[in-house]
A and B are shown apart, each in its own frame.
Chain A
Amino acid sequence: MKKALQIILVLFISTQAWAQVNPITKANEMYQKGEYEKAIQAYQFVLDTHIEAPEIYFNLGNSFYKSGEISSAILNYERALLLSPDDKDIQYNLDLARKHVLDKFEVLPEIFVKRWFTGIRNSFSANLWAYISIGLFFLALLFASFYLYSNKAGLKKIGFFLALIAFGISLLTYSFASKKTDEITLREYAIIFSPSVTIKGSPDKSGTELFLLHEGTKVKVIDSLGDWRNIQLSDGNEGWLKKEDIEMI
């Protein structure tokens, strides 16, 4: 029953016919009028019904940004970017929001091949990669049939090589899709929400104070113990903080 309701809502939001009463349209209008608090509530209402889209997260992030809640804005931009990694608008606004974060880190240098790979992987969403993989597999089969049924030797050769290449790329895109799906489903990154958090050396209140982080900083959660989370920064530093200080992306 709930599922049915959700599906109806999905249709409701997606179809233009209902535009007049579409909650997203309403929220957008509030945003345009500058009623950011109300817009936030409206967007969040939609998200609470378990419906999501990168656009909703993006618009919610914008509303948070405009009302000065930078860490919430960053969180929602990051969520939008997960669903739609190739969106330039999201990237731009996220960069701007990040300028408000106090903590700056040296990003650990990666091998250029790896960076290159990540770049390619981030240029499409998980679903798109999945479709591309299936499409390439189909192409590989097509070329394979060229090889099998053609009477001309030249066509046979080309068909064989193209089939091999298409199959290889299909495997690669499969791995991209798999990785991106993991990013969406596992959610190992988090945004710090407390104004300032002291990162401890051990999951204990009396642990050695290692360093200080401020709200809006993105961290990777690599371990957990009770109420404590072991986080890693982009510069490689690790430490523990309380669960309530962060919000998973």
Chain B
Amino acid sequence: MKKIFLSLLTLILISTSVFADGIKFTASAPNVVELGEQFRLTYSLNSKGKNIQLPALDGFRVLMGPSTSSNMSTQIINGKVTSSSSYSYTYVLLAEKEGKFNIKPASISVKGDKVSSNTLTIEVVKVNKTQQGSGNNQSKNAAASQKITQENLFVKVHLDRKSVYMGEHIVATIKVYTRLTIAGFGDSKFPSFDGFLSQEVPTPGQISLQRENVNGTIYNTGIIRKLILFPQHTGEITIDPFELECIVRQQRANKRSGFFDDFFDNYQDLRVPRKSKPIKIRVKDFPKSKPASFDGAVGKFNLTTTIDKDSVKANDAITMRVKVSGNGNLKLIKPLEFNFPADFEVYDPKTTQNLKSSEKGMSGSTTFEYLIIPRHGGEYEIPSVDFSFFDPKARIFRTRSTPKFNIKVAKGDGDASGTVISSFSKEKVKFIGKDIRFIKTNEFESQLKGEVFFGTTNFYLGYLIPFVLFILAFVFNRKRIKENADTIGQKNKRANRVAMKRLKAASASLKAKQKEQFYDEILKAIWGYTSDKLSLPLENLNKENISEILLDKGVEVELKDEFLSILDTCEFARYSPSAGSSEMDELYQTSMDTITKLEKNIK
């Protein structure tokens, strides 16, 4: 128990000392006051301080102060003890002059250090004549009893700009303005914001009313909602009216005298619907000089591109991150289109957004994560890609580029075999155990590279030599036939002459009275002649077949008989001694005639 108490105490001590470090000295006062109105200027400090020193308060008179108050609180949440103490110094001021006044920082010393507060701006407005009453309490009462009119209670969609570029942000604030007592708000209907991408700016959950000067009238205003809008197309875009039901607390007009009635029913709540006016926004198109890589990004961005590794094995994944950070329509930025090497497998980029919406627009970052898988070995290059955006403040396009990445891809472990398996798996059973055929180990003829038989001289000689031989053989044969033909012809021609020669020799023997020789010569002449003339060798000729051959050759029958009779006469006379010279003369003459006739007859 004691232990717990001790630890609690140390905790308290530590936490207070921690608080002491973050000393906050803040000034607070209403933004707008009426001329002659009394109001409070409060300085609060979360520590104990001494010697508060006020700045010179021009235009204001200090009516009272400072009145100090202190406040201590201790919280135990889940066993954690936090304690805070606050001191406040309150002055009551009176506005004396019209205009805007700056209240310079006040200072206070805390444990010897001088701490300064923030600066305040207070606008002093001259009281509107239509407005009744003066003084804080009175005006409140007056407001409560005022009639519900459009001037006293209205809603408005407030835009910080009326003319923007496409994609540039606009801050739209939906505000309620009232000079009545508002008990709360009922149903509301927000505009659809067609033509815009809208993003809500977080506002405190509770609607707190603040004083604001609108054309010389002081209203209590509350921000219902705050949005940033990004126009999606050019031209005029109309924002639909905003509808809100306000619950106004009003004092009953007919006062009753009843005690209880007075006490309970003095106020009544009225539901008052309000509708804002539609607003038009002019959305301008971008200047003409649009870069090719511009894709609608508007704002001010930075581009960082990283790659997790630049040398991998085939089929290993690479992650490339492209981070666009800055302020603008980050939500609408499209992934950059890289010109990846064609053989890379690239998946659609994963987009992660880390965005924050505030009155200054949307800020944060959008990251695109590209998963790349090189499928084959080699050296590849991911070329640089431009990212362009429009800077609406400077009204120019700016371009950022990603760096160029060189990627070395080594052949993967399963590069070759992997594909083999995939192609083999198509017909698993069929291809099991399939291998290339073994090398050739036989003896073979090798040749010089580029050596071809076709077209060489030897090749053409292969045709030419047989052809020449063929022609030569033909020519030679023709010549031989011709020669053969000639010898027969000559013999034929010469037959007559040879026969006459023989006959002459016969006549010589006749004169010499050599009987036997004479007949011999005649026979030789006759036989020789027939042999030559008929182109038949002598051996084939005899008395038996000669008549047949002669008839075949177209010789007349009388001539044949004469021819045969000569032969008969010769053979007979040769061996008979009685033959006279006159007979021999006659025979010689007949032989001459027969040969001459035969010469004419045999064709």
Enumerate chain A interface residues (CB-CB to B < 8 A). Answer: 6-7, 10, 13-14, 16, 25, 28, 31, 47, 50-56, 58-59, 62-63, 65-66, 68, 70, 89, 92-93, 96-97, 99-100, 102, 126-127, 129-131, 134, 137-138, 141, 144-145, 148-149, 177-178, 180-181, 184-185, 194-196, 198, 209, 212, 214-215
Q: Which one of A66, A130, A138, A145 lies within 8 Å of B473 (CB-CB)?
A: A145
Please give the distance in Å from B61's CB to the nearest CB on chain A.
80
Q: Is the CB of B453 within 8 A of A131?
A: yes
Residues of A within 8 A of B424 (CB): 99
Please give the distance in Å from B423's CB to the nearest CB on chain A.
5
Q: Is the CB of A55 within 8 A of B416?
A: no
In B399-426, which residues have CB < 8 Å from any A CB?
411, 416-417, 419-420, 423-424
Please give the distance in Å from B449's CB to the nearest CB on chain A.
4
Residues of B within 8 A of A28 (CB): 439, 441
Whether A51 contacts B449 in the complex (CB less than 8 A), given A100-B423, A134-B459, A137-B466, comes out as yes
Q: Which one of A10, A55, A102, A145 lies within 8 Å of B442 (CB-CB)?
A: A55
Q: Is the CB of B377 within 8 A of A195?
A: yes
Q: Is the CB of B447 within 8 A of A68?
A: no
Residues of B within 8 A of A25 (CB): 441
The residue in chain B whose Cβ has the minimal distance to the Cβ of A88 is B437
In B439-459, which residues have CB < 8 Å from any A CB?
439-450, 452-455, 459
Residues of B within 8 A of A195 (CB): 343, 376-378, 411
Whether A100 contacts B436 in the complex (CB less than 8 A), given A52-B446, A53-B446, A149-B477, comes out as no
Residues of A within 8 A of B378 (CB): 194-196
Residues of A within 8 A of B446 (CB): 10, 13-14, 51-53, 55-56
A181 to B453, CA, bound (A): 9
Given A14-B444, A62-B437, A100-B419, 17 more contacts at CB 8 Å? A10-B446, A14-B445, A28-B441, A52-B447, A56-B446, A59-B440, A66-B436, A93-B436, A96-B436, A141-B470, A181-B452, A184-B452, A185-B452, A195-B377, A195-B411, A196-B378, A198-B341
**Any A CB within 8 A of the CB of B263:** no
**Any A CB within 8 A of the CB of B3:** no
Interface of B (DSSP majority class): loop
A7 to B268, CA, bound (A): 125
What count of chain B residues pass the 8 Å CB interface test? Answer: 44
**Any A CB within 8 A of the CB of B474:** yes
**Any A CB within 8 A of the CB of B375:** yes
Q: Is the CB of A134 within 8 A of B462?
A: yes
A52 to B440, CA, bound (A): 14
Please give the distance in Å from B442's CB to the nearest CB on chain A.
7
Q: Is the CB of B437 within 8 A of A55?
A: no
**Any A CB within 8 A of the CB of B56:** no
Please give the distance in Å from A173's CB to the nearest CB on chain B.
11
Q: Is the CB of A70 within 8 A of B470?
A: no
Q: Is the CB of B440 within 8 A of A126?
A: no
Q: Is the CB of B439 within 8 A of A126?
A: no
Residues of B within 8 A of A181 (CB): 452, 454-455
A138 to B467, CA, bound (A): 8
Residues of B within 8 A of A185 (CB): 450, 452
A179 to B341, CA, bound (A): 40
A16 to B445, CA, bound (A): 11
**Any A CB within 8 A of the CB of B543:** no
Whether A126 contacts B447 in the complex (CB less than 8 A), given A93-B436, A196-B343, comes out as no
Please give the distance in Å from B469's CB to the nearest CB on chain A.
8
For this complex, 19 residue pairs linking A to B, each with C-beta atoms less than 8 Å apart, are: A10-B448, A14-B445, A31-B439, A51-B449, A54-B444, A55-B442, A55-B444, A62-B437, A62-B438, A68-B416, A89-B440, A100-B416, A127-B453, A145-B473, A178-B455, A181-B455, A185-B450, A198-B342, A212-B343
A130 to B452, CA, bound (A): 10
- Please provide the 3 A-B residue pairs with the shortest distance between their CB atoms, ordered closest to farther: A195-B376, A134-B462, A196-B343
Q: Is the CB of A65 within 8 A of B342?
A: no
In B115-165, which residues have CB < 8 Å from any A CB?
none
A56 to B440, CA, bound (A): 8
Residues of A within 8 A of B288 (CB): none
Q: Is the CB of A58 within 8 A of B440?
A: yes
Please give the distance in Å from A145's CB to the nearest CB on chain B.
7
Q: Is the CB of A138 within 8 A of B466?
A: yes
A92 to B423, CA, bound (A): 17
Residues of A within 8 A of B444 (CB): 14, 53-55
A131 to B440, CA, bound (A): 25
Q: Is the CB of A177 within 8 A of B376?
A: no
